[in-house]
Amino acid sequence: MYVMKYKIIYQEEGEIKELSLLTQNIDEHNLPKNIIQIKKYDFHININIFNNIKDKDLKNIFYELSLMLESKILLDEAFEILIKSQKNHLLKEFLITLRNSFRKSINIYESLNVFKINPLVKSFFRITQDSGNTTLMIQSLSKIIDENYEIKNNFVKSMIYPIILFVSVFLSFIGIFKFVVPKFEFMFKQNSYELPFATKMLFFVKDIFENYLFLISIGLLVFFVLLFVLYKKFKKVRYSFDEFISLKIPVVSSIYRLKTFYIYFTIMQILLNSKYEFNECLVKAKLTINNYFILDKINQIENALKSGKSIYSSFEQAKLFDEISLNLIRTGELTNSLELTIKEIKKINKKRFDEKLKLFTQLIEPIFLLLVMSLIIWIILAIFVPLWDIGDMLKV
């Protein structure tokens, strides 16, 4: 994506100041008064990885914005306050883009493409711009971003020990394969003794490590890069991959689905509370879903509703939701209380998500420890069993 770089020289309080601006359209920005000169530079390719905005910064921004909106401050005024108080140039540019998108009714989804941010932010603001109820949407976004940040932090904390353990063992294996195993291999080959399977496998892995490690590393790198390109370019590949993530991985798939459903039903609840029709809520809420497999299921529900089927039948036909959620939807449809039942479904998904995530983080450490212990036992058996057998033979 191409953007222009501008250098704005202006006077403020008797001083000459400079402002650098990286933007697609300078007219979208509120420029300072008393401009002396605007210098325009050549086009630059904007690789948005350099415009990466972390969830921690988003969490703080939307928390402050949410508090101001709760205090009945107008959205435009709230953005102005945040822009003036923000010292980070990238975050200030982000806030200016948001403000101008709302002020001038510019497509907010496209405006935010110059930034590398959590996709939820773009989806939330796109829904907000289309449907209104800004305060409630931003409060929900603030809560979800905060939860995402905490989840990532807790996950990283739970992975620190297993990663350190794994790296330590890997480095130990390098030393073992480089200096220890070759000596034992030479000694064992001097005897006609039939080596056990564990020892043969150890020597086999050592040979691969010595002769083919670089080629294997390059091959894996090429494979993952190719997989990434196919995922981005071909919808069928992406659909299959998204289906695998959503259904096939024990524990992880369940966590992924529950988090997706929690966010989806959060938006559904907000829109229903704003008195939107259920079908319209269904369509708008799916903007938060990036998974092609789940999105296809939501589209199936949408099409079934358009063909005249009941809400319960449409959701049941998708074969995506559990019995409790389906029963609540049926109850809500029969009693005309979908707002309450969708709220309950959201709570159930959130509770299950928290429970599954806690279980997953608790399992990571013992699984890694068990794996490392298995490798250590394998090496011990592979080296010492032949030594003990040779020792027994020499005694005889």
C-alpha angle 104-109-113 in degrees, rounded to nearest 5:
110
Count CB neighbours of 387 within 10 A. 13
State the pLDDT at residue 42: 55
Same domain for 117 and 65:
yes
State the pLDDT at residue 1: 45
Same domain for 250 and 178:
yes
Give, in order, the Cα–Cα distances in Å from 266 to each of 103, 140, 141, 348, 368. 26, 8, 10, 11, 35
Task: Report how far apart the first and last C-alpha atoms of the chain are (Å, whole number).
Answer: 79
Question: Is the residue at 141 inside a domain?
Answer: no
State the pLDDT at residue 382: 82
Alpha-carbon gap, residue 28 to 97, rounded angstroms: 8
Same domain for 338 and 299:
yes
- Residues (pLDDT < 70) of the chain are 1-5, 21-30, 41-50, 131-133, 191-193, 389-396
Question: Is the residue at 121 inside a domain?
Answer: yes
Residue 9: exposure state from Cβ atoms within 10 A (0-12, 13-18, ≥19): middle
Same domain for 93 and 14:
no
**Count of alpha carbons within 13 Å of 33, Cβ hemisphere only?**
3
3-state secondary structure of 42: strand
User: Any residues with CB less than 8 A from the CB of 75 and at least 6 apart, and which?
Assistant: 69, 102, 134
Question: Is the residue at 111 inside a domain?
Answer: yes
Same domain for 92 and 220:
no
Question: Is the residue at 139 inside a domain?
Answer: no
pLDDT, tens digit, 9 for 90 and up, residues 345-388: 999 998 998 888 888 878 877 887 888 788 888 888 887 777 77
Number of domains in the chain: 3
Query: Closest Cα to residue 46, out of 85, 3, 88?
Result: 3
State the pLDDT at residue 129: 72
State the pLDDT at residue 46: 47
Question: Is the residue at 20 inside a domain?
Answer: yes
State the pLDDT at residue 314: 92
Query: What are the residues facing 39 on neighbouring strands?
Result: 7
- Looking at residue 132, the DSSP 8-state letter turns out to be -
What is the edge-to-edge ordering of all strands in the sheet holding 2-12?
15-23, 2-12, 35-45
Query: pTM of this prediction?
Result: 0.69
Q: Which residue has the tokens 């350099």?
A: 50
Question: Is the residue at 245 inside a domain?
Answer: yes
Same domain for 195 and 180:
yes
3-state secondary structure of 47: coil
Same domain for 232 and 117:
no
Alpha-carbon gap, residue 72 to 77, rounded angstroms: 10
Same domain for 114 and 206:
no
Task: State which residues form the domain around 371.
Answer: 147-396
Write phi, then psi, for 34 (nearest 5 degrees): 55, 50
Name the domain boundary from 84, 101, 130: 130
State the pLDDT at residue 47: 46
Same domain for 158 and 126:
no
Question: Is the residue at 140 inside a domain?
Answer: no
Give, in order, the Cα–Cα distances in Å from 52 to each of 112, 116, 128, 369. 11, 4, 23, 35
State the pLDDT at residue 26: 65
Count CB neighbours of 284 within 10 A. 19
Same domain for 231 and 89:
no
Name the domain boundary from 130, 163, 181: 130
Same domain for 318 and 240:
yes
Residue pair 378/202 in contact (Cβ under 8 Å)? The answer is yes
Same domain for 332 and 191:
yes
